Amino acid sequence: MKYIVALIVGLLFGVSLFIAAMIYNPFIADRGLSPLSVTDGEVMSLSYSSVPSENIIFTNDGDSRQQPHPQKVLQLWEASIRQTSMMTTVMRDARGQTAGIGIKFSSRSERTRLLNGEALVDSTWYIYLPGRGSLFIEQSENYWPFLREVAFPAWRSSANNWKGTWLGDMTSGPGALGTAKVIGGSGVLLGLDTHGLESLSVRAYSSDEGHVSAEGRLLIELPSIVADDGSE
């Protein structure tokens, strides 16, 4: 009997050890600076609030941590879209002025490999900037560093929240250097084919409600012909 107890205790200890090793694995480190953060080229900067209640609309399956906003918005409960969220938000330029409107579709990715430190989300942005045109952005985002450094400490805290300063690049592809693909669809941005990067800055997070204070930022590299017309 005592051998069975030892085996079960050992088994539980092993699973716990494995989970701890995954969370604190020093070999799964941040990628460091993205090439776009240090580019010499012109860059368009667009920021938005990452707190659902500060967006125009945010919806998901209704059972997730982040609650839909406004409260009576249609929820995405059907099987095909249950792991998807949708957001419409005001995009602000580098001076904090309204630059346009952004719509973000995010779906959990089947390429997620927690063993490799990849909690992936496939997301698509559509951004319309009055006077400049529209943009379509395709990217994969890796939420593992965020989960490890913000969400897990918040879950572990007795108050179920986390406060501090966390800044991370979320974009991890499809570009070879971990950048997003950006396509211009109209206006002066028509024909644009370039790279982008989304980063997230979190100051407060609750494991019950999700983001409490957080801001997202999109950096889009502009070729000189477009930059002459509208870079920040």
Which positions ≥6 away from 107 have C-beta within 8 Å?
81, 83, 84, 85, 121, 122, 123
Site mask for another protein (CB under 8 A), range 157-186, x = bound: -----------------x------x-x-xx
Q: What is the DSSP string of 13-40?
A: HHHHHHHHHHHS-TTS----S-GGGG-S
Choosing from 47, 84, 171, 172, the residue that interacts with another protein (CB under 8 A) is 84
Choosing from 44, 52, 122, 219, the residue that interacts with another protein (CB under 8 A) is 122
Distance of closest approach, residue 59 Cβ to another protein, in angstroms: 6
Q: What is the DSSP string of 179-205?
A: -EEEEE-SGGGTT-EEEEEEEEEEEEE
Phi/psi zone of residue 23: left (φ > 0), alpha (ψ -120 to 50 degrees), beta? alpha
SS3 79: helix
- Contact between 227 and another protein by CB under 8 A: the answer reads no
- Contact between 218 and another protein by CB under 8 A: the answer reads no
- Contact between 225 and another protein by CB under 8 A: the answer reads no
Residue type, 52: P
Single out the segment in contact with another protein by CB under 8 A; choices: 34-42, 68-76, 149-157, 203-211.
68-76
- Contact between 63 and another protein by CB under 8 A: the answer reads no
- Contact between 223 and another protein by CB under 8 A: the answer reads no
Single out the segment in contact with another protein by CB under 8 A; choices: 102-110, 150-158, 203-211, 222-230.
102-110
- Find the length of the chain: 232
Distance of closest approach, residue 137 Cβ to another protein, in angstroms: 9
Q: Are 46 and 217 in contact (CB under 8 A)?
A: yes
Distance of closest approach, residue 188 Cβ to another protein, in angstroms: 10
SS3 sequence, 164-185?
A: EEEEEECEEECCCCCCEEEEEC
SS3 sequence, 110-149?
A: CCCEHHHCECEEEEEEEEEECCCEEEEEEEEEECHHHHHH
- Give the C-alpha separation, 129 to 188, whole Å: 10
Choosing from 138, 149, 209, 232, the residue that interacts with another protein (CB under 8 A) is 138
Choosing from 40, 63, 80, 158, the residue that interacts with another protein (CB under 8 A) is 80
Single out the segment in contact with another protein by CB under 8 A; choices: 36-44, 95-103, 156-164, 222-230.
95-103
Contact footprint for another protein (CB under 8 A): 2-3, 6-19, 56-57, 59, 70-74, 76, 78-84, 86, 88, 90, 98-101, 103, 105, 107-110, 112-115, 119, 122, 124, 126, 128, 130-131, 133-134, 136, 138, 174, 181, 183, 185-187
